[in-house]
Structures are given as structure tokens and as C-alpha cells.
Amino acid sequence: FLNETRTKFQYKRAVKRMNLLLEPGRSLRRDCGTSTYLALESVRKDYFTPKGGDRDDKPNILFVLSDGVTVPVENQNLTFLEAGNLKKMNLLTFVMGMPNQRQVELNKRNVYIGDEEWIAIASTPENVFKMEFKTLTRKIAFLADQVCTVEN
């Protein structure tokens, strides 16, 4: 376990920013990006390490939430590289594929646009789950119940 805490983000500030982005009628900035590869790299270098609290006698389980693909697309190869690095660590990885809000706004038929990346990130293709936000909490609780055991 950790004997210190490290702030990765402030929940209240993050929620405020998300609400601004999701306000009806607002358009997303065109210069935004999604650096999935950096998140995966951070998991590998910061979280599943002895300094990050990793324990050899406990399985490493990762839940990834995503609503799309790496942007700009030129960086997508870095996401695939980091996904491969995580697979070498034998993590049990689940990906929760969420609807892409931009696709919803454009009334696109397929609002789930991250299949290729999601399959690369998940430990098996069967560990990719597409769902609406309203079912996310139940699915995570179900999966946690399946992979976690209580020790006496």
C-alpha cells in the first residue's frame, strides 16, 4: 500500500470542465486531443510499480473508460505500443466503451468509434464492453465482484 498520496486530478474541477463541454449547444474545441497512450504509459510507469503500491501477491486489474480514439490519429500507433506494453505485464484489463458524444450530436448510426483501440487495450476482446453511461456503475460493480475475492 502507499504511505503517501498523490493528486492526479481534482474531482470538482474535472467535473466542472466536463459539464462545460457537455452543455447542450456547445461545440467541442477542435484543438483538443485524446492522449490515450499517455494514460496507458502512466499506468505502466506510475501505478503498477512497487512505488505506486503494486504488490506481487495481488493481481493487477485495470478498468479503462473511453469514448473514442486517440486524437490526433498520428499518435494512435503510440496507443497500440503502450497497449502492447501493458499486455506484457499480464494485467487483467477491461475497457468500457462509451458513446462518443460528437457522433451522438451528428446523429451518426454508430456512436461507438473506438473498437480497434479498445480491443488492443483489453486483455481479451471479450473484456471490451460497450454501454451507455447509465449502466456503467452496475457493470463495474459486477466486474469487480467477479475478479475480487475477500480474504479472511
The region, left, alpha or beta by phi > 0 then psi within -120 to 50, assigned to residue 132 is: beta
Closest CA to 32 of 17, 42, 15, 43: 17
Give residue 103's pLDDT.
83
**83 or 107: which carries more pLDDT confidence?**
83
Candidate from 37-46, 47-56, 83-92, 104-113 with smallest mean pLDDT:
104-113
- In this structure, what are the phi and psi dihedrals at residue 92, rounded to the nearest 5 degrees? -90, 105
CA pair distance 48, 28, nearest whole angstrom:
33
User: Under CATH, to which class is 34-147 assigned?
Assistant: alpha beta
- Looking at the predicted structure, is the pLDDT value of residue 78 above 90? yes
Give residue 139's pLDDT.
85
Domain positions in the chain are 34-147
Give residue 92's pLDDT.
94
CA pair distance 141, 152, nearest whole angstrom:
21
pTM, two decimals, is 0.73
- Looking at the predicted structure, is the pLDDT value of residue 11 above 50? no
